[in-house]
């Protein structure tokens, strides 16, 4: 670490992620930003597989914390990190090789930025994995997105993630950060040099995404789409929605967009000429709206069930 390359702490939260943790860490080790200026911290939630043992092959900073991911993130980001800049990841995420370098360049040359959104690309070759990849592309920089790279001092100032939430805690953090400054959007078009020589190039390509097409992004290496698991996860996250809305007020403009049908079903896909993509890819658009409908129906069903019990 030196003055020209400030230390960046990368915090990875895990729970039974032996299939993903090494690939995630390898993507951090392959960054174009100097390795001596990157700190890797893994915060595990009592895994029963080999997650911790595998992580310890790459970093000595492997800790145990629970009960939920918000507490894990806060522990790593606010208590165990040494860097002035912070990036948090899930274990099934893979960084394009120039992510940290470009995050540092962007946030240091834009002093009004307190955090950055980073484009995510969902991996997978099956139809609904492609649908999820298509859907995620509409969320970049919107209120559906969540900041992932921060100035540590600012994260301390807002108190990190709200540990009472598991689901909308990313949105909640963004709202707190926006009270102090702007959240920028990392330029995904900044293509890494010699991308075909990247150690994970073939790994990404084999999972349905061409790195030369996507540029400076985070790849989300979720398993191939499973509807039951997807709806179960969405339903679990939705349990925190009422508390989140109560915290900021149901009339808050961001809350109306994040939890309202008008924006989630139409607005986010139509604004800023994004509607053209819907017409260009009708096959994917159909699948996306089918998933949106199923998520909405599941949410209403669970909410009704919750009131009746």
What residue spans define the domains of the chain? 8-224
Which residues fall within 8 angstroms of residue 274, CB to CB, at 6 or more apart?
138, 268
Q: What is the pLDDT of residues 211-263, one digit of tens each?
A: 999 999 999 998 778 888 888 888 888 888 999 999 999 999 999 999 998 99
| Contacting residues for 145 by C-beta, under 8 A, at least 6 apart | 117, 139, 174
Q: Are 226 and 290 in contact (CB under 8 A)?
A: no
What are the pLDDT digits (tens) for 193-202?
899 999 999 9
The pLDDT of residue 307 is above 70: no
CATH fold for domain 8-224: Spore Coat Polysaccharide Biosynthesis Protein SpsA; Chain A (3.90.550)
The rounded distance, in Å, linking the Cα atoms of 163 and 65 is: 12
CA 172 – CA 249 distance, rounded (Å): 12
pTM of the model: 0.93
CB 174 within 8 A of CB 146: yes
Per-residue H/E/C for 98-115: CHHHHHHHHHHCCCCEEE
For residue 90, give the H/E element and its range: strand 85-90
Pair type for strands 8-14 and 38-44:
parallel
pLDDT in tens, 2-26: 568 999 999 999 999 999 999 999 9
pLDDT tens digits for range 83-142: 999 999 999 999 999 999 999 999 999 999 999 999 999 999 999 999 999 999 999 999
For residue 128 the two structure tokens come to 């609904």
Question: How many CA atoms within 13 Å lie on the side-chain side of 140?
Answer: 19
């Amino acid at each position: 670490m030196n003055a020209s390359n400030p230390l960046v702490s990368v915090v990875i939260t895990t729970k039974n992620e032996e299939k993903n943790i090494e690939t995630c860490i390898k993507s951090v080790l392959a960054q174009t930003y100097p390795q001596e200026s990157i700190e890797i911290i893994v915060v595990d939630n009592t895994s029963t597989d080999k997650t911790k043992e595998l992580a310890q092959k790459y970093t000595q900073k492997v800790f145990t914390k629970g009960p939920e991911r918000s507490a894990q993130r806060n522990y790593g980001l606010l208590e165990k990190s040494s860097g002035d800049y912070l990036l948090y990841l899930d274990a099934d995420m893979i960084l394009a090789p120039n992510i940290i370098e470009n995050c540092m360049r962007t946030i240091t040359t834009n002093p009004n930025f307190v955090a950055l959104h980073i484009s995510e690309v969902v991996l997978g070759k099956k139809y609904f994995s492609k649908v999820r990849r298509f859907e995620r592309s509409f969320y970049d920089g919107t209120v559906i997105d969540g900041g992932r790279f921060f100035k540590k001092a600012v994260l301390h100032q807002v108190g990190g993630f709200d540990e009472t939430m598991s689901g909308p805690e990313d949105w909640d953090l963004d709202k707190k950060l926006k009270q102090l400054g702007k959240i920028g959007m990392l330029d995904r078009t900044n293509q890494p040099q010699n991308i075909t020589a990247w150690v994970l190039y073939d790994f990404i390509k084999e999972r349905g995404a061409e790195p030369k097409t996507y540029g400076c992004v985070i790849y989300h290496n979720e398993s191939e789409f499973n509807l039951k698991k997807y709806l179960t996860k969405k339903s679990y996250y939705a349990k925190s929605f009422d508390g989140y809305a109560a915290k900021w007020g149901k009339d808050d403009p961001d809350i109306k967009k994040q939890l309202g049908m008008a924006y989630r079903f139409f607005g986010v896909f139509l604004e800023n000429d994004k509607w053209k993509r819907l017409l260009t890819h009708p096959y994917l658009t159909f699948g996306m709206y089918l998933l949106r409908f199923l998520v909405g129906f599941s949410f209403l069903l669970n909410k009704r069930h919750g009131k009746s019990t």
